[in-house]
Structure formats: C-alpha cells, structure tokens
C-alpha cells in the first residue's frame, strides 16, 4: 500500500477552507434556508428550488469568507 502524501502549505490551507465551508454550509445553511422560507409563499417546486439556491449561495459565500479569514488568523 502506498504511503499517504502529507503537505505543509505555506500560508492558508485552502483544502481545509473548502472542506470546512462545505460541511458548515450544510449544517448551518439548511436551517437558515428553512427559516427564511417560512414567511414566503413558494407555490411551485421551481420557485422553491430557486429560492434555496439563492439563499444557499449567499450562505455559502459568507461561510467561505469566514472560514478563510479564520484560517488566515490562525496561521
């Protein structure tokens, strides 16, 4: 079995930032989308999907920026 490669990045570890963004967005973003959709009338599945994508994109972006800034701070 080949050895597992290890890296020691100079600066921010973008792999960690991407993984953290993915997991945190799913855990935190799903309830945010649900809470944001409570007061809005979404009649069709298309409207629901577009709403989830729009809110999810915003949550994803904010989470990615926060994860990057945290990784940069901890470096």
- So what's the pLDDT on residue 62? 95
For the record, the structure tokens of 45 come out as: 């599945």
- So what's the pLDDT on residue 60? 94
Enter the pTM of the model. 0.76
- 21-63 tens-digit pLDDT: 999 999 998 999 999 999 899 899 999 999 999 999 999 999 9
Provide the pLDDT confidence category of residue 75 given band limits of 50, 70 and 90.
confident
């Amino acid at each position: 079995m080949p050895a597992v490669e290890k890296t020691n990045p100079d600066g921010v570890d973008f792999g960690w930032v991407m993984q953290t963004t993915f997991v945190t967005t799913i855990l935190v973003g799903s309830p945010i989308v649900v809470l944001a959709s409570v007061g809005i009338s979404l009649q069709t599945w298309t409207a629901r999907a577009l709403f989830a994508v729009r809110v999810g994109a915003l949550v994803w972006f904010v989470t990615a920026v926060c994860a990057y800034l945290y990784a940069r701070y901890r470096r």
